[in-house]
Amino acid sequence: MVQAFHYSFDMDNYMTKERFSQFREFASARETPFLVTSLGIVAKKYDELKKSMPYANVYYAVKANPTEEVLRLLNERGSCFDIASVCELDLMLRLGVNPGRLSFGNTIKKARDIRYAYERGVRLFASDAESDVRKLAENAPGSNVFFRILADGVGADWPLSRKFGAQPDVIFENILLAKEMKLNPRGISFHVGSQQLDVTQWRSALKTCKELFDAAGKKGVELDLLNMGGGFPAHYTHPVKETCVYAAEITDYIREFFGEEFPRVIVEPGRYMVGDAGILVTEIVMISNKERESGIPWLYIDAGKFGGLIETLDECIRYPIYTDRTGEANDYILAGPTCDSMDLLYEKNPYRLPSGLREGDRLFFFTAGAYTQTYSSVFFNGFPPLRSYVID
């Protein structure tokens, strides 16, 4: 059977046909490109995670989709938040979120930003460097600190490897230093890489956590906090295991290393929470053939790398694309509308879409609720930032 789009409504319980009609109705009167996020789907994702990991505290990673309505909804449901900057802190405080429910999860911080957060009531910080521990001790005295270990990001479609975290021996020294400097070393964190498809990556990270808990314990520092970061997947073109399957396996790993006495567990989902909730609606600007005989046609749309689709870098994230056209499928190279030649979406691995596509047709990028709107450029080439709407 020829597949005219990369999405099967039956496969997935978030984007049902009914929900999609709701999106489409909202989208019909608006000019493309834009993002629409469904609050109903975000709520469902949050509830499902809480149900699958009732012992975990959810700290939503604000950067994934900082739309106010999304943040308000999660706040009402009892979520805490992982913030990375002074601006995200101000946003959360403006929405009335108690600073006790915020975690400053960015390991790269200026001393004055640490102080700013501390003065406003933030008492939980991530750290992965000696210099940062010293800055924390001076500007956020007595605060709770968790220490981030390196994870290599193997198995992740969007790895965060190398930049964050440090080797366990460095972390161990930092824990002792923090204690000495009268901070409150609480635990260990890691991030297995975003869109992590290999659940066993949590196991190796948890093993290292346990080793550090034990080593610190021997020096009289009792750690009790496990921050398992993000990495839980959204539904792109690759099939992924359901949330409850991930959760059950991860819970088993925790039990394997920590026994029945779980430490306090934090998860920081970003992509998982909002990815499936968004659709980025685009229009075909031009279809062209660059060679007379053979060659794959180019399909230029009105959103690209600078219009919210930056995660197509290296063709890492492959969004399911829906079109109303049906019929025989053809390979297409997809590109954005700007005058930068890196504004290409999929060339190495072209997309199969119906051969009847015409300029002016709409392409719906599913699973676009995470890492799109705030990643769009301010005004490159005169294209405004991606507009963003929410629906119930």
Ligand X SMILES: *Cc1c(COP(=O)(O)O)cnc(C)c1O
By CB under 6 A, name the binding residues for ligand X: 61, 63-64, 82, 105, 191, 194, 229-232, 268-272
Cα distance from N-terminal residue to C-terminal residue, the chain: 34
Query: What are the tokens at 301?
Result: 């749309």
Beta strands at 362-365 and 321-322: parallel, antiparallel or unpaired: antiparallel
Judge whether 89 and 56 are in contact, CB under 8 Å.
no
Closest contact distance (angstroms) between CB of 64 and ligand X is 5
Q: At CA 335, angle to CA 329 and CA 340, rounded to 5?
A: 165
Nearest to residue 214, comparing CAs of 192, 190, 189, 187? 187
d(CA 67, CA 299): 30
Which residues make beta-bridge pairs with 225?
A: 187, 264
Residue with the CB atom nearest ligand X in the bound state? 230
Residues with Cβ within 8 Å of residue 293, at least 6 apart in sequence: none
Pick 43 or 344: Cβ nearer ligand X: 43
Pick 232 or 364: Cβ nearer ligand X: 232
Pick 271 or 362: Cβ nearer ligand X: 271
Closest contact distance (angstroms) between CB of 61 and ligand X is 3
Closest contact distance (angstroms) between CB of 377 and ligand X is 20
Pick 85 or 330: Cβ nearer ligand X: 85
Residue 331's identity, in one-letter code, is: D
Closest contact distance (angstroms) between CB of 108 and ligand X is 10
Q: For tokens 């290409």, what's the residue?
A: 344
Pick 57 or 338: Cβ nearer ligand X: 57
Closest contact distance (angstroms) between CB of 232 and ligand X is 6
Closest contact distance (angstroms) between CB of 362 and ligand X is 27
Pick 229 or 278: Cβ nearer ligand X: 229
Closest contact distance (angstroms) between CB of 271 and ligand X is 3
Other residues' Cβ atoms within 10 Å of the Cβ of residue 99: 18
> What would you report as the CA-atom Rg of the chain, rounded to the nearest whole angstrom?
22
Pick 32 or 227: Cβ nearer ligand X: 227
Query: What are the tokens at 384?
Result: 């405004």
Closest contact distance (angstroms) between CB of 209 and ligand X is 15
d(CA 12, CA 302): 27
Cis peptide before 99 (omega within 30 of 0): no
Running DSSP on this structure, what letter comes out for residue 383?
Answer: P
Pick 4 or 247: Cβ nearer ligand X: 247
Closest contact distance (angstroms) between CB of 240 and ligand X is 13
Pick 139 or 194: Cβ nearer ligand X: 194
Judge whether 151 and 191 are in contact, CB under 8 Å.
yes
Other residues' Cβ atoms within 10 Å of the Cβ of residue 94: 10
Nearest to residue 132, comparing CAs of 109, 149, 163? 109
Closest contact distance (angstroms) between CB of 9 and ligand X is 25
Pick 268 or 302: Cβ nearer ligand X: 268
d(CA 64, CA 271): 6
d(CA 209, CA 186): 12
Beta strands at 156-158 and 194-196: parallel, antiparallel or unpaired: antiparallel
